[in-house]
Amino acid sequence: MPHPADTIKTALSDRFGETFTVDAGLSGLDELARLAARRVHRRYLDRPVADDLLRLLCACALSAPSKSDLQQADILIIRDRDRLGAIADLMPEMPWLHDAPLFLVFLANGRRIPALAEARGKPFPNDHLDLFFNATVDAAIVMATFLRAAEAVGLGCCPISVIRDHATVVSEMLALPPKVIPLAGMSVGWPAEPSGISQRLSLGTTLHEERFDEGDLLAEVDAYDRRRHAARAYRQQREPERFGRAEFYGWSEDKARQYSKPARADFGAFVRAKGFCLD
Ligand SMILES: Cc1cc2nc3c(=O)[nH]c(=O)nc-3n(C[C@H](O)[C@H](O)[C@H](O)COP(=O)(O)O)c2cc1C
């Protein structure tokens, strides 16, 4: 077993293309090593996740900090094969979802606090964008904490935002009431195969000191494109019939092509229809 300090150095160097100093005497290096080397898993063994373990992980996730202690994030567990299959059927581009032992949906719940205000006969003059934003942020933190807890016990997960392409149908299937919306789904299971580490933009691009400074963004991104290409080239180019076949196809070209057409442009309408005010 490598020392966790060495795991961290190797993982972060693969990820960021930079070297890091790690004090081998620091406490918590095991956890940092897991965070540094983490990756999503999309293939799972045919092995169930015990109910008690799932409950424990959810409780750990729901122990995450919460804005003003308002506790506006919920987790919905889908174990039933028929329901899980029906949700997976909505996303045929991800056929592996059918094999996930579990599917979770992380919910932003902006319903509970106004309902409590009403029950307690108090005004609620805060039905505006901040209600949506706070609930969404809480749900995102709970989701990230679930990932961390699940990965700590050796489970593999993949967040699934594509469920928001089908937000209205999913909302009906899961009986989500007004002001409760899905932030993302998540497949969970015991990993069937190792998956690779995913390179990230340099810290020169995403880490700022004292004031925002993105440096020479295009040069940094070009270097990232090439580093990432060397480690893990894209197997396919998006829409070559529209954009042509690029001689060099990196991350920035892929993301520019991906977002060259509207994606989920109706999500705002869904959120409003669920009763959130976005003003
Ligand atoms: C909010 C969120 C939504 C995501 N949605 C999907 C998804 O719908 N389908 C999918 O295959 N991966 C999804 N992912 C996984 C990302 O593609 C993955 O995190 C990214 O490629 C980086 O890989 P890594 O997590 O292994 O570092 C999602 C990740 C996040 C954080």
Whole-number pLDDT of residue 199: 98
Same-domain pairing of 246 and 213: yes
Say yes or no: 120 and 242 in one domain.
no
Confirm whether 279 is domain-assigned. no
Distance 183 CA to ligand 1 centre (A): 13
Sign, Cα dihedral of 183, 157, 40, 93 = negative
Among protein residues, the one with the nearest Cα to ligand 1's atom 30 is 159
| Residues 178 and 93 reside in one and the same domain | yes
8 and 112 belong to one structural domain: no
Number of domains the chain contains? 3
pLDDT digits (tens, 9 = 90+) for 216-243: 999 999 999 999 999 999 999 999 999 9
How far is the centre of ligand 1, averaged over its atoms, from the C-alpha of 92 (Å)?
16
Atom of ligand 1 nearest to the CA of 162: 8
Ligand 1 atom at minimum distance from 42 CA: 11
Within 45-166, where are the H helices? Answer: 51-61, 81-89, 112-119, 129-152
Residue 253 pLDDT greater than 90, yes or no: yes
Of ligand 1's listed atoms, the one at least distance from the Cα of 196 is 26
Residue 146 has pLDDT above 90, yes or no: yes
Half-sphere exposure of 86 (CA within 13 A, CB side): 11
Query: Ligand 1 pocket by C-beta < 6 Å: which residues?
Result: 39-40, 94, 158-162, 184, 198
> Is the pTM above the cut of 0.95?
yes
pLDDT digits (tens, 9 = 90+) for 59-114: 999 999 999 999 999 999 999 999 999 999 999 999 999 999 999 999 999 999 99
Tens digit of each residue's pLDDT (9 = 90 or more) over 170-195: 999 999 999 999 999 999 999 999 99
Structural domain boundaries, residue 221:
203-258
Ligand 1, residue 94: give the atom nearest the CA. 11
Q: How many A from CA of 161 to the centre of ligand 1?
A: 8
